[in-house]
Amino acid sequence: MRTVNVELGARSYAIHIGEGLLSNADLLLAALPQRKAAIVADANVAPLYLDALTATLSGAGVNALPVVLPAGEEHKDWQTLNRVFDALLAARAERGTALIALGGGVVGDITGFAAATYMRGVPYIQLPTTLLSQVDSSVGGKTAINHPLGKNMIGAFYQPRLVLADTGTLGTLPARELSAGLAEVIKYGLIRDIEFFDWLERNIDKLVARDPAALAYAIERSCRNKAEVVAVDEHETGERALLNFGHTFGHAIETGTGFGTWLHGEAVAMGMVLASELSHRIGLIGAGDVERVRAILVRARLPVAAPDLGVARYRELMGHDKKVRDGALRFVLLRKLGEAFVSADAAREALDAVLAAAGAHA
Catalytic position from the list 192, 264, 280, 322: 264
Question: CATH number of the domain that 79 lies in?
Answer: 3.40.50.1970
Q: Are residues 185 and 58 in the same domain?
A: no
Greater model confidence, 358 or 19 = 19
Q: What is the pTM of this model?
A: 0.94
Residues 36, 76, 146, 184: which is the catalytic one?
Answer: 184
Mean pLDDT of the chain: 95
**pLDDT value of residue 348:** 83
Domain shared by 84 and 157, yes or no: yes
CA distance 250 to 266: 8
Task: From the candidates 76, 142, 151, 224, give the one annotated as an active-site residue.
Answer: 142
What pLDDT is stored for residue 44 in this prediction?
Answer: 97
320 belongs to the catalytic site: no
List pLDDT tens digits, range 295-312.
Answer: 999 999 999 999 999 999
Q: How many structural domains is the chain composed of?
A: 2
| Residues 24 and 158 occupy one common structural domain | yes
- Active-site residue (options: 192, 240, 280, 281): 240
For residues 106 and 129, give the distance between their C-alpha atoms in angstroms, rounded to a whole number.
11
Residue 165 predicted with pLDDT over 70: yes
Note whether 51 and 138 are same-domain residues: yes
Predicted pLDDT of residue 362: 60
Dihedral sign (CA 281, 285, 286, 291): negative
Active-site choice (244, 280, 322, 330): 244
151 tagged catalytic: no
The arithmetic mean of pLDDT across residues 43-58, rounded, is 97
Read off the pLDDT of residues 245-273 as tens digits, 9 standing for 90 and up.
999 999 999 999 999 999 999 999 999 99
Categorize the per-residue pLDDT at 361 as very low, low, confident or very high, splitting at 50, 70 and 90.
low
Query: Is residue 55 over pLDDT 90?
Result: yes
Active site residue 142: yes
For the question of residue 76 being annotated catalytic, the response is no
Annotated catalytic residue 44: no
Residue that finishes a domain, picked among 127, 154, 172: 172
Strand 339-343 vs strand 331-336: parallel, antiparallel, or unpaired? antiparallel
Which one from 251, 280, 322, 330 is the annotated catalytic residue?
251
Examine the pLDDT at 282 and tell me if it is beyond 80: yes
State which of 118, 140, 172 marks the end of a domain: 172
C-alpha distance from residue 128 to each of 147, 157, 191 (Å)? 23, 18, 23
Do 314 and 165 share a domain, yes or no?
no
pLDDT at 189: 98
- Assess whether 326 and 197 both reside in one domain: yes
The yes-or-no verdict on residue 43 having pLDDT over 80 is: yes
User: Hey, which residues does 65 pair with through a beta bridge?
Assistant: 38
Looking at the structure, tell me whether residues 182 and 308 fall in a common domain.
yes
Q: Is 75 a catalytic residue?
A: no
Q: Domain containing 317 — which CATH number?
A: 1.20.1090.10
Please say if the pLDDT value at position 358 is more than 90.
no
* pLDDT score recorded for residue 91: 97
Answer yes or no: do 93 and 202 share one domain.
Answer: no
Q: Is the pLDDT of residue 360 over 70?
A: no
Cα 150 off chain centre by: 16
Indicate if 232 and 182 belong to the same structural domain.
Answer: yes
Q: Which of 146, 172, 198 is the last residue of a domain?
A: 172
Do both 61 and 157 map to the same domain?
yes
Q: Are 59 and 127 part of one and the same domain?
A: yes
Residues 119 and 243 in one domain: no
- Report the b/e string of 141-150 with b at 16+ CB within 10 A: bbbbbbeeeb
Residues in Cβ contact with 249 at an 8 Å cutoff, skipping those fewer than 6 apart: 267, 270, 271, 274, 275, 306, 314, 318
Report whether pLDDT(49) > 70: yes
Instruction: Write out the residue range of the structural domain in which residue 190 sits.
Output: 175-360
Give pLDDT tens digits for 197-221.
999 999 999 999 999 999 999 999 9
Q: What are phi and psi of 139, to 5 degrees?
A: -110, 130
What number is the average pLDDT over the span 237-251? 95
Q: Is 244 a catalytic residue?
A: yes
Determine which one of 226, 280, 281, 322 is catalytic.
226
3 state SS for 188-245: HHHHHCHHHHHHHHHHHHHHHCCCHHHHHHHHHHHHHHHHHHHHHCCCCCCHHHHHHC
pLDDT in tens, 93-136: 999 999 999 999 999 999 999 999 999 999 999 999 999 999 99
